[in-house]
Amino acid sequence: MSHSKEKVRIVVTGKGGVGKTTLTALLAHCFAREGRTVLAVDGDPQQNLACTLGLPASEVRSIVPLSERKEYIAEKIGALPGRGGFMVLNPDTADVVDRFSYPAGNGIRLLVLGGVKNAGSGCLCPEYTLLSAVLRNAQFLPGDVILLDTPAGLEHFGRAVAQGFSIALVVTDPSYNGRSVAGQLCRLAHECGIPRIFLMTNKARVTGRDAMKNDLSPGYISGKIEVPDDPCIRAHEPSVVSALDGDCPAAGTVERLVRAVCS
Ligand SMILES: Nc1ncnc2c1ncn2[C@@H]1O[C@H](COP(=O)(O)OP(=O)(O)OP(=O)(O)O)[C@@H](O)[C@H]1O
Ligand SMILES: [Mg+2]
């Protein structure tokens, strides 16, 4: 997926429910276990990456997303949420991880972006401006590996994501609808200018066949990966930690993938 010494910036996208958050969390732990410094960014307003990484409910409840850090938004953007006015459109947000990320086990840092009303329409509100700046400048944030979990689709912060992230991991399940959306997302990621696009067929039931079925992928796909359907993941959800410590095929597949990337 990437050269071992290279900084890795991965956006994980795909249709709803295909396993984006699960895979983001598995990847985060596997990269951390390989000795990489990992920043996991939750870009989904539903904010379920924290519990999937294994944070206990009490800690999850205490997380304040970036979109609600009104003072920081005012400091960086020069305008308060809900008020508008003159705004700094490309603020320096390099300090955001130091100030607002949470420890998420295994040395992983977690940054929760939170929700922005009308993000899909690219509103020019201060929260949207701040979050897009964080994503656009992702290559300057600390961390060997940055993983961005997203809500279904790529639209919300499309252009900002494309500037900050060099790898798109498009996740699908073996269903026709999942594969069809994945095909559209691959195209969108390519059009946005993300240089490397990998197609990950998750919850695959027949080894080799489910990923091969994905004939919708065009020539610009850098690689196809298959992760098996794994009752062990469901049994331990929402956290992936026990799956990693047990003998779970899906976790094992992600572990081998990350080891190959890091070797
Ligand atoms: N390989 C797998 N085998 C079995 N179950 C899985 C696998 N991957 C994910 N799941 C299960 O699928 C469900 C959806 O996973 P997840 O929440 O990660 O999807 P998502 O794409 O992030 O969803 P959303 O679009 O709502 O954010 C969860 O119950 C999760 O445990
Ligand atoms: Mg999710």
User: What is the number of the ligand 1 atom nearest to the C-alpha of 227?
Assistant: 1
> What protein residues have CB closer than 5 angstroms to ion ligand 2?
20-21
Residue whose entry in the numeric block shows the structure tokens 């295994």: 106
Closest-lying ligand 1 atom to the alpha carbon of residue 228:
1
**In the sheet where 223-228 sits, what is the strand order?**
102-103, 109-112, 38-42, 145-149, 8-14, 167-172, 196-204, 223-228
Residues lining ligand 1, Cβ inside 6 A: 14, 16-22, 44, 152, 202-203, 227, 229-230, 233-234, 237, 250
| pLDDT score of 124 | 72
- State the ligand closest to the CA atom of 203: 1
Domains observed in the chain: 8-55+104-117+144-262 (3.40.50.300)
Ligand 1 atom closest to the Cα of residue 204 is 1
Which residues of the chain fall short of a pLDDT of 70? 1-5, 79-85, 118-123, 153-156, 207-218
User: Would you give the DSSP letter of residue 39?
Assistant: E
pLDDT for position 84: 56
- Written as six digits, the tokens of 52 are 């999937």
Q: How far is the CA of 72 from the centre of ligand 1 (A)?
A: 33
pLDDT in tens, 129-183: 999 999 999 999 999 999 999 998 666 677 888 899 999 999 999 998 888 899 8
How confident is the model at residue 78, as a pLDDT?
87
Question: Model pTM?
Answer: 0.94
DSSP states along 226-256 = EEE--HHHHHHTT-SHHHHHTT-HHHHHHHH
b/e 145-173 (16+ beta carbons within 10 angstroms → b): bbbbbbbbbbebbbebbbbbbbbbbbbbb
pLDDT at site 125: 85
- Within 8 A by CB and 6+ apart from 191, the residues are none
**Spatial contact of 109 and 102, defined as CB atoms under 8 Å apart:** yes
| CB distance 194 to 168 below 8 Å | yes
In this predicted structure, what is the pLDDT of residue 214?
A: 58
